[in-house]
């Protein structure tokens, strides 16, 4: 089996590479990084697919970032992600025997959706405003996949994971998601012996987080069992406040200072928990606890600082 992974150096892609290389020697894994294939180029994207002739394509490439990046680079987030989706899907039109696994995002669901959020909530209300451009790009990717399925007969599985974290994430102050951003700031504060760390927002929002290796195990499960659903949520079924999360990260890192919540920054959605009933009924469940996942992620971060 030939499996092509677009975005193989990123958070999701690198996790998939680790899993398949360690546990599935029977798979011919074809990686594709930003340096190897310019997904903004239709010609280069088509060439990679034509040369690879994959049985399965996993679209893990995307421009991603936290609430600050999403809200300040709105044009870049919608344009870049639309280009990636359009070029990959268009390049696969003539290959309707190739199975496609498209990695989306839980941000496609409306701000007003009832929690836990199930797949039927799609397009039932307005999007969360701070990341609506990214959300619209991911919604467009889902719609493109459905038109390909209906018009050309492609088998496309759209996965909507909850908030992911883990090794190979982006650890920065301004452009990271919440967990790698907090790890970055608290580790720096620990090394510099700072007395406090500022955390954006009130700390009250409730969020669901999942280690990226759990998503990889879900993808492995779905491939093995030849699941062909249109759309599936993938989550941990656990919710935690940003304040509780911050204290857990503080404990793992060993930072002794104070946590100061700056309410001048937006909180975003007050609560977001996915309903993963569909994939759980199929036989898959998340297995990595939040504390174990954060410990694993922090160890990787320290080991790879240079």
Q: What gap in Å lies between CA 204 and CA 268, rounded to an integer?
A: 10
Q: In Å, how far are 12, 24, 102, 154, 282 from 224, measured between CA atoms?
A: 18, 11, 16, 18, 12
Give one DSSP letter per residue of 80-131, joined into a string. Answer: HHHHHHHHHHHHTTT-TTSEEEEE--GGGS-TTPPSSBPGGGTTSSPPPGGG
Spot the catalytic one: 68, 95, 109, 134: 134
Pairing of strands 163-165, 156-161: unpaired
Q: What are phi and psi of 241, to 5 degrees?
A: -75, 155
Q: Tokens at residue 20, please?
A: 């398949």
Buried b (16+ CB within 10 A) or exposed e, 215-226: bbbbbbebbeee
Contact criterion met (CB below 8 Å) for 211 and 177? no
Q: What is the CA 171 to chain-centroid distance, rounded?
A: 15
Nearest Cα neighbor of 285 from 218, 208, 189 is 218
Quick check: is 134 catalytic? yes
Q: What gap in Å lies between CA 241 and CA 256, rounded to an integer?
A: 20
Tokens 């009250």 label which residue? 204
For 117: left if phi > 0, alpha if psi spans -120 to 50, otherwise beta; the answer is beta
Within 13 Å, how many C-alpha atoms sit on residue 149's CB side?
18
Active-site residue set? 134
């Amino acid at each position: 089996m030939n499996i092509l992974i677009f975005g193989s150096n990123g958070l999701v892609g690198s996790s998939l590479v680790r899993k398949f290389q360690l546990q599935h020697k029977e798979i011919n894994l074809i990686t594709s990084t930003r340096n190897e294939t310019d997904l903004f180029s239709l010609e280069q994207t088509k060439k990679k697919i034509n040369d690879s002739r994959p049985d399965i394509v996993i679209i893990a490439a995307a421009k991603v970032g936290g609430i600050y990046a999403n809200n300040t680079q709105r044009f870049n987030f919608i344009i870049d992600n639309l280009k990636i989706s359009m070029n990959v899907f268009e390049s696969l039109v003539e290959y309707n025997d190739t199975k496609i696994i498209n990695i989306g995002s839980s941000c496609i669901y409306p701000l007003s959706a009832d929690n836990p959020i199930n797949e039927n909530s799609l397009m039932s209300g307005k999007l969360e405003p701070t990341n609506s451009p990214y959300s619209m790009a991911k919604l467009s990717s889902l719609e493109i996949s459905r038109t390909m399925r209906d018009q050309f007969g492609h088998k496309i599985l759209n996965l909507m994971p909850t908030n992911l974290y883990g090794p190979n994430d982006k650890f920065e102050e301004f452009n990271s998601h919440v967990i790698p951003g907090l790890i970055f700031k608290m580790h720096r504060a620990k090394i510099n012996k700072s007395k406090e760390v500022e955390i954006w927002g009130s700390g009250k929002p409730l969020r669901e987080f999942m280690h990226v290796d759990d998503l990889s195990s879900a993808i492995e499960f779905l491939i093995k069992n030849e699941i062909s659903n249109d759309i599936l949520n993938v989550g941990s079924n656990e919710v935690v406040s940003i304040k509780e999360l911050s204290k857990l990260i503080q404990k793992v890192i060993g930072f002794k200072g104070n946590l100061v919540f700056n309410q001048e920054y937006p909180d975003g959605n007050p609560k977001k928990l996915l309903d993963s009933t569909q994939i759980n009924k199929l036989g898959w469940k998340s297995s990595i606890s939040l504390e174990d996942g954060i410990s694993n992620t922090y160890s990787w971060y320290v080991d790879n600082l240079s």
